Every structure is written in C-alpha cells, then in structure tokens.
Structure 1
Amino acid sequence: MTRVALRGLLAGFYAAAGYFHLTVPGPFLRIVPGWVPMPQTVVALTGLAEFAGAAALFQPWSRRLRKIGGIGLALYALCVWPANVNHMLMDLARPDHGWGLAYHVPRMLAQPLLIWLALWTGEATEWPARPGRANRARSDRKGDA
C-alpha cells in the first residue's frame, strides 16, 4: 500500500512539474546551464517527459510500463541535476543569497531520493528490502502483466 500511495504522489508531482514546464517555462529557462543547446526546446521536452513518466508510472494495468516509467523518471531526475546545481550556484552568488542553503542543500540531498523513489515505486528495484521479502513480493505478483 505504501508503494502505491507513494507512486501516486510521485506521479502527481511529476505531472504538476510537467504542466509548469510547459505553461510557465521562464523559471526553468533561467536555471538551464549555458552549455545546454536550445533551452526552450529542452524545457518543453522535459515537461513532456515528466507527463509521459507520470502517466506510465501511475497506470495500473502494466507492471512493465510502470517499470519503464520509473526508470525513465529516475534517468530524468539524474539528467536535470546539472540544472539544479546551476540554480544553486546562481542563487547563492546573488548578493542576498537567494533562497539560501536552507533551501538548496535539502534539494540537492533529495535528488538521489527522488531517483530511488522513481525506481522503487516503478518496481524497478526492491532495494533496500531483504532478499526474502523481495522474492516473496515477486512471487506474489506473478501474472501481473
């Protein structure tokens, strides 16, 4: 039950983020590192990727599609990490230090958690479950397409 609830929360989070990437791209464009080509296109594509990943993760019919969605969202979170680092560096360089370390440090530490959560809720990993629990969970799901 916990996995299903967290899957719904994560899918909702990514769907909302996708909506904002597409409808209010300005804040995202400002944090795209300078070495990223075609930032407007990249921000729009990230919004579409968030929608697709959220839909794949949330749908109840196919375990395989949930797994693909989870892996995709984990890779997405890894790929946007440079933008988050860039945002932190730009923000802290401001005279008023922007949001400050109290915002940016937890955000940086949360990124690996988001990656793991996408993998776990998408059933791409059972870690950190004990091997016996993981095997029982797998055998309980036999037949789940």
Structure 2
Amino acid sequence: MAVLGPAALFLVAGMLHFVMPAFFDRIVPPWVPNARLATYVSGVFEIAGAIGLLIPATRVAAAWGLIALLAAVLPANIHMLNQARAADASAGYIAGLWLRLPLQPLLMWWVWRVAIRR
C-alpha cells in the first residue's frame, strides 16, 4: 500500500508537535499571533491527514489537505533558515536548511503521486 510511507511520516511528524512543541513554536514566523496554537493545529492536521490517507473514502481529500498544509508551513521553514543565518549557525546546518526547502514540493509530489494520481 503506497500511502503507508507518507501516512507514517505525517503521523510521526504530527505527534512530535505535541511531544516537543517548543521546537515547533520557535520556527513559527513572528507574524503568526499564537505560535503554540499554530504548532498544535498543524500537528492535528498532520495526524488527521495521515489517518485520512489510510481510509480509501477520505484518501484524496486528505491528500489535498496535506498538500495545502505543506504549502502553509513553508514560511516556517524559511523562518528557520533566516533564524539560523542571523545566529551565525554553522555552514553545514545552514546548508541543510537550504536543502530542506525543496523537500516541501517533493513531499507534495509524493502525496499527490500515491494518493491522488493513483
């Protein structure tokens, strides 16, 4: 079942929003009024999307929801990179954050490929 990979990824990622919310709070851009709420909401949507991928009747809707979520959290990844650059983080860490940015569209493609295009 091709959806198991992304379902597991989003389930674990969503659970991490509740296990270690401070990490996610720190990367929420400052223009978001309530970082903790954003952390929890995105975690709920990741978990719901993961479960939705596993249910054939909700698979396509869940996939579109996860694709939208991946687009919505891209500013957090950019903010994380900007924070690292401002803090003079190591070149390797900054390079890793730059490499992480294209991961969002790749994850979008993966979800689309296994749940919508099928």
TM-score by length of structure 1 reads 0.75
Aligned length: 117
Instruction: Give the partner amino acid of 2:22.
Output: G
Deviation, 1:53, is 0.2
Deviation, 1:46, is 0.6
Tell me, which stretches of 5 or more residues in structure 1 are unaligned?
Answer: 127-145
Instruction: Give the partner amino acid of 2:17.
Output: H
> 1:77 maps to which residue?
70
> 1:25 maps to which residue?
21
Listed one character per residue, the Cα deviations across residues 20-64 of structure 1 (whole Å, up to 9, x for unaligned) are 1012101100010000011111110111000000000122x42xx
Give the match's secondary structure for 1:34.
coil
Q: Alpha carbons of 1:56 and 1:27: their partners in 2 closer, same or farther (altered >3 Å)? A: same
Instruction: Give the partner amino acid of 1:94.
Output: A
Alignment of 1:54-93 (within 5 A): 54-59=50-55, 61-62=56-57, 65-93=58-86
Deviation, 1:104, is 1.3
- Structure with the higher fraction of residues in helix conformation: 2
When Rg is computed on C-alpha atoms for both structures, the one with the higher figure is: 1
Deviation, 1:105, is 2.1
Tell me, which stretches of 5 or more residues in structure 2 are unaligned?
Answer: none
Match of 1:122 among 109, 115, 118: 115
Q: Say whether residues 1:111 and 2:104 are aligned partners.
A: yes
CA RMSD of aligned residues (A): 1.5
Match of 2:31 among 35, 45, 52: 35
Q: Distance in 2 between matches of 1:33 and 1:96?
A: 18
> 2:94 maps to which residue?
100
Q: Distance in 2 between matches of 1:78 and 1:16?
A: 19
Q: Distance in 2 between matches of 1:95 and 1:106?
A: 17
Q: Distance in 1 between matches of 2:100 and 2:73?
A: 12
- Report the identity percentage: 29
Match of 2:12 among 13, 16, 27: 16
Give the match's secondary structure for 1:51.
helix
